[in-house]
Amino acid sequence: MTGKKSVVRAALAAGVLTAASLGAVAVAGTASAAQAPGGPVNRIVGGTIAHTADAPWAIQLSNSGSPDATGEWCGSTLVKANKIVTAAHCAQEAVGTYTAIQGRDDLSDKSTGKESKIAGIWVDPQYGKSPAHDVAVMTLATPFDGVDTLALETDKAADKAGAASVVYGWGSTEGTGPGGHLPEGRRTGTG
């Protein structure tokens, strides 16, 4: 596959993952979704503390410019040993300011997990022109070899209103436990 086709394929996969996760962050169960006035759902509220062993593809994207002491910035998803997908709004800083962290339940414990600097960033060229294009693909300088990636869901039933889903990720959370830990929220999609 040519480089251009690989980027297009990665962008399509990223769009599917982003659409799935945006659709998944609806209202349900013991966790609820906070919504900005007139805007999209923007954080997990409630839920439980998760463990990276249960979701090894859940990658924490840190940034040296973060006000948080751990560098916590955004969540991302490992889709290939050397590729992570995140939101485009999380990828607006210089490439050298980012570090991907895998397998670290507590971000303040630097003795666990793997780290990789980011070698490159691709942002959907339509980002900022339409809310549906908030996706970026980052290339890891050091691949996370041997780590499970998130497979794309192929069951059409998962796209139907009322389908259950689980959301993992770092970022703007509330009431999910201590900061710097991976939260999990169970949701039922509304369509």
Q: What is the pLDDT of residues 55-102, one digit of tens each?
A: 999 999 999 998 888 888 888 999 999 999 999 999 999 999 999 999
- For residue 161, the tally of other CB atoms under 10 A from its CB is 10
**Distance between first and last Cα of the chain:** 34
Percent of residues, the chain, with pLDDT higher than 90 = 39
CATH classification at residue 72: 2.40.10.10
Give the residue, 183 or 129, on which the prediction is more confident. 129
Q: Mean pLDDT over residues 32-59, rounded?
A: 64
Number of domains within the chain: 1
| pLDDT beyond 50 at 35 | no
| pLDDT beyond 60 at 187 | no
The range of the structural domain enclosing residue 91 comes to: 3-188
